[in-house]
Amino acid sequence: MTSTTTTPAVPEFPAGTILGYPRIGPHRELKKALEAFWAGKTSADDVEAVAAGLRKQTRARLAGLGLRTDVPAIPSAFSFYDHVLDTTAVVGAVPARFADLADADGRLDLAGYSTVARGRGDDLPLEMTKWFDTNYHYLVPEIGPETTFRYASDRPVREFAEGLADGVLTRPVLVGPVTYLALAKPTEGAPEGFEPLDRLADLLPVYVDLLRDLAAAGATWVQLDEPALVSDSLTVTPEAVRAAVTEAYRVLATELARPDRPAILVAAPYGDLGAALGVLAATDVEGIALDLVRGAAPTVAVKGLTSKVVVGGVIDGHNIWRADLDTKLQVLEQLETLGAAQVAAGTSTSLFHVPHTVEDEPALDPTLRGWLAFADQKVAEVVTLAEGLTEGREAIHAELLAAGDAVRSRAAAPGVVRPEVRERVAALTEGEFHRGPFAERRSAQAARLALPPLPTTTIGSFPQTPEIRKARAAHAKGDLTTEQYEDEMRAEIRRVVELQEAIGLDVLVHGEPERNDMVQYFAENLDGFAVTQNGWVQSYGSRCTRPSILWGDVSRPAPITVAWTTYTQSLTTKPVKGMLTGPVTILAWSFVRDDQPLADTANQVALALRDEIEDLEAAGIAVVQVDEPALRELLPLKAADHAAYLDWSVRSFTLATSGVRPDTQIHTHLCYSEFGEIIGAIDGLDADVTSIEAARSKMEIIGDIAGAGYARGIGPGVYDIHSPRVPTEGEVTELLAEAVRSIDADQLWVNPDCGLKTRRYEEVNPSLEHMLAATRAVRATL
Ligand code: GLN
Ligand code: ZN
């Protein structure tokens, strides 16, 4: 018997596409619109108008760059704040504490959506955490057995319709159901062992409704992002993710048949699919997008692939270097031999991890600019490769040559390889990665510093006041001379020192007023780096960062922090802590050259810092802190890659810090509380004192520290600086008392969770006073 129903042919898919595009606007228009709305200066309609304008501009831009508009090459992937929060809004999974913000249909307006993201009073916002191995942070969904899912927002449909009315057939992009649940955390009251992924069957009907609506609106393809497939660092196992993917796409692809739903492209950015490719290929989805920058293309036929569109993500969505298009075309040609129904050129990830366009960087050295591809240039690369696929290699001959020339020009350019830097790294001996025994250091430092028990300190920065920002801007514009600017910064340092002395802190800092950013400041003062004017990328919500570009061999032309630090030390008899950013963090928060192993680049940065630390020591500074808040952030997604990463990252830190005498105290600061997870690395850093976040988790890490038998100095943050809330003396006393019950008081330092630069003095002064009062109270009990 033959079946009488036939599946309609798969709708046309373009030869080139991108997985997503920056949403914040070339001049951070969305950020400005949102912040004006939050400040009560504009209405939600004003923000909607700005957003619609940006979406229209993006569609026109992408079409102008050559992406097709008659088939779905242009993604519809806007977000006001975060795409995971958008999914929460679409599926109606607003946490109970915010339930009142939704209307009877479960829908949030822009004000409600913003409140879920930012919190109100005692209702904490959704937790924010790193999106895979990027610097982007998403809002963690809270899913419990009681969570009700419903199709609460048709925003993706409306935005698709908006594009269509504008003459552009877009491809709506959504977080896939498996990744959505795999990234969620259980609600507070959820029973032990409950996993949000257990709720998959209840969530899928919402996706079914949404897909049906999208098809009715005319969408021919939809993109569902399932990066959970490339990670084995989630709370759920890779096996559970794969099983869930099989089930989810059985339901989505077969329970709703085309044309009642669009064709489905499942994208797996941020890594290698490995065995998960076979799982995806075995489903009935119509397309798969592979990350061929982090991952490798399959070399043997994969069952199920012959009926699918495969997007070869050969253009790096994660970094800013122009691609060698010839090599990329070869990868796509190899992919074509595997027999997929169609191979398309694409990006490895969404492009929202890179800035909009190199054209907006007139101040960059033109040679360097010629090596770079921001989002728009990457779109052009995809379009070129697509033409190569459809018209043949000859059709893009000139572009292939030009791209190859750019890569060769970069390799040969002065500064990219500097023999004196290479020789220094090559000549390193094992001894330069290690300090002497801790016991000896401890007694030498105790004798030199003569600190009280439970020494108090801060993490480095003090509030960046409007006056500081104004002075920096005036200096950049030339309205303040360098001398005037530095005078103002010294005046600020004097105020910060006086304040710390008045409060009674034991180890003082200069407050970092002269630093715009803890990485860019060093990038501006080291050779091998460039900084951009408009190279903003979204970090979370309306927050953007402007990563520096590490393009060449790194060295330190002159001391960077020594004058500021010795000036500060001249104002006080208390020890002043020199303040540097560590090699791993400098790499993590920059766009880093891709032509040599990260470990080599890290060692070059480490040597520059080592020189700086030795100069600080020679100038009489007894304590130096080297911040590594990003140490865990760069941790690879696959457990198999952890050891190699931790090895080079920890070694670069010890290379930077091991040149000092035993009586010089090295501190480090880590910005998270997963002490237990990377205790091996923390131990490997061999810092004399480590400060770490602890207040939000109510000192839970104390158990990990005690359990690990960690013997060096440790400062678990006693209050959360991420919130404007001033802690009471009583609650800090309680946390400290708890700490001294489990940890040797000799080891314990007292400090806030992180730097104070985003806070106001109205919050900082009483908070530090309470911290000191609590310390005195607990000292009295010792
Ligand atoms: N020293 C830096 C500061 O206090 C550390 C910041 C961070 O950990 N991100 O601002
Ligand atoms: Zn921090």
pLDDT, tens only, 263-292: 999 999 999 999 899 999 999 999 999 999
Q: How many A from CA of 582 to the centre of ligand 2? A: 13
697: pLDDT confidence band, cut at 50, 70 and 90?
confident
412: pLDDT confidence band, cut at 50, 70 and 90?
very high
Neighbours of 152 (CB within 10 A): 21
Mutational pocket test of ligand 1: of 627, 671, 693, the residue with most ligand atoms within 8 Å of the beta carbon: 627
> Can you tell me the mean pLDDT for 404-418?
95
- pLDDT for res 2: 43
**Average pLDDT score, the chain:** 95
Which DSSP category does 253 fall into?
I
**Quick check: 204 pLDDT over 50?**
yes
Catalytic one among 27, 397, 434, 722?
722
635: pLDDT confidence band, cut at 50, 70 and 90?
confident
549: left (phi over 0), alpha (psi -120 to 50) or beta: beta
> Can you tell me the mean pLDDT for 634-640?
88
Which amino acids bring their CB within 6 angstroms of ligand 1? 459-461, 512, 518, 579, 627, 629, 669, 671, 754-755, 757
Distance set, CA 705 to CA 116, 141, 487, 642, 675 (Å): 34, 29, 43, 21, 7
Share of the chain above pLDDT 90, in %: 90
- pLDDT for res 325: 98
At 712 the three-state DSSP class reads coil
For 128-148, the pLDDT digits (tens) are 888 998 989 999 999 999 999
Please check whether residue 225 is in contact with residue 176, taking contact to mean a CB–CB distance below 8 angstroms.
yes
Helices 325-336 and 397-412 pack at an angle, to 10 degrees, of: 130
Nearest in space to 72 (alpha carbons), one of 221, 282, 275, 232: 221
Q: In whole angstroms, what is the distance from residue 736 CA to residue 748 CA? A: 9
- pLDDT for res 701: 84
Q: In whole angstroms, what is the distance from residue 218 CA to residue 470 CA? A: 51
> Can you tell me the mean pLDDT for 759-767?
97
List 555's β-bridge partners, or say none: 527
Nearest in space to 205 (alpha carbons), one of 244, 143, 149: 149
Q: In whole angstroms, what is the distance from residue 475 CA to residue 445 CA? A: 39
Kindly write down the DSSP assignment for every residue of 178-212, as one continuous string: HHHHHT-EE-TTPPTT--GGGGHHHHHHHHHHHHH
Ligand closest to the CA atom of residue 722: 2
At 76 the three-state DSSP class reads strand
- pLDDT for res 429: 97
Q: How many A from CA of 717 to the centre of ligand 2? A: 9
Ligand closest to the CA atom of residue 458: 1
Q: In whole angstroms, what is the distance from residue 453 CA to residue 438 CA? A: 18
> Can you tell me the mean pLDDT for 114-133?
90
- pLDDT for res 560: 98
Residue 468, exposed/middle/buried by CB under 10 A (0-12, 13-18, 19+)? buried
- Which region among 193-197, 672-676, 714-718 has the lowest average model confidence (pLDDT)? 672-676
- pLDDT for res 723: 82
Residue 543, exposed/middle/buried by CB under 10 A (0-12, 13-18, 19+)? exposed
**Quick check: 1 pLDDT over 50?**
no
Q: Identity (one letter) of the amino acid at 439?
A: A
Ligand closest to the CA atom of residue 758: 1
Mutational pocket test of ligand 1: of 496, 507, 512, the residue with most ligand atoms within 8 Å of the beta carbon: 512
- pLDDT for res 3: 45
Share of the chain above pLDDT 70, in %: 99
**Quick check: 378 pLDDT over 50?**
yes
Kindly write down the DSSP assignment for every residue of 342-364, as one continuous string: EEEEEESS-GGGS-S-GGG-TTS
**Quick check: 356 pLDDT over 90?**
yes
657: pLDDT confidence band, cut at 50, 70 and 90?
very high
List 345's β-bridge partners, or say none: 16, 312
Q: How many A from CA of 754 to the centre of ligand 2? A: 4
Please check whether residue 214 is in contact with residue 157, taking contact to mean a CB–CB distance below 8 angstroms.
yes
For 609-626, the pLDDT digits (tens) are 999 999 999 999 999 999
Q: How many A from CA of 672 to the centre of ligand 2? A: 7
Nearest in space to 138 (alpha carbons), one of 109, 170, 116: 116
- pLDDT for res 637: 87
Q: Identity (one letter) of the amino acid at 203?
A: L
Please check whether residue 248 is in contact with residue 211, taking contact to mean a CB–CB distance below 8 angstroms.
no
Nearby residues of 108 by Cβ (< 8 Å), 6 or more positions away: 89, 94, 101, 102, 116, 152, 153
- pLDDT for res 724: 82
Nearby residues of 202 by Cβ (< 8 Å), 6 or more positions away: 149
Query: Which helix (H) or strand (E) covers residue 765, if one does?
Result: helix 761-781
Look up residue 47 and give its two tokens: 């923000």
For 576-611, the pLDDT digits (tens) are 999 999 999 999 999 999 999 999 999 999 999 999
Q: In whole angstroms, what is the distance from residue 756 CA to residue 736 CA? A: 20
Nearby residues of 523 by Cβ (< 8 Å), 6 or more positions away: 529, 530, 531, 548, 550, 586, 590
Beta strands across the sheet bearing 689-692: 577-581, 623-627, 665-670, 689-692, 713-716
- pLDDT for res 5: 59
696: pLDDT confidence band, cut at 50, 70 and 90?
confident
- Which region among 81-95, 257-271, 310-324, 628-642 has the lowest average model confidence (pLDDT)? 628-642
pTM: 0.94
Which residue has the least CA distance to atom 9 on ligand 1?
Answer: 629
Q: How many A from CA of 242 to the centre of ligand 2? A: 35
Q: In whole angstroms, what is the distance from residue 565 CA to residue 578 CA? A: 6
**Quick check: 746 pLDDT over 90?**
yes
**Quick check: 543 pLDDT over 70?**
yes
For residue 629, give the ligand 1 atom closest to its CA.
8
Which residue has the least CA distance to atom 1 on ligand 1?
Answer: 460
Mutational pocket test of ligand 1: of 754, 758, 759, 764, the residue with most ligand atoms within 8 Å of the beta carbon: 754
Active site residue 510: no
Please check whether residue 270 is in contact with residue 641, taking contact to mean a CB–CB distance below 8 angstroms.
no
Nearby residues of 405 by Cβ (< 8 Å), 6 or more positions away: none
> Can you tell me the mean pLDDT for 701-710?
86
Q: In whole angstroms, what is the distance from residue 54 CA to residue 74 CA? A: 14
Q: In whole angstroms, what is the distance from residue 229 CA to residue 267 CA? A: 9
For 86-112, the pLDDT digits (tens) are 999 999 999 999 999 999 999 999 999
Q: In whole angstroms, what is the distance from residue 24 CA to residue 34 CA? A: 10
Q: In whole angstroms, what is the distance from residue 183 CA to residue 129 CA? A: 10
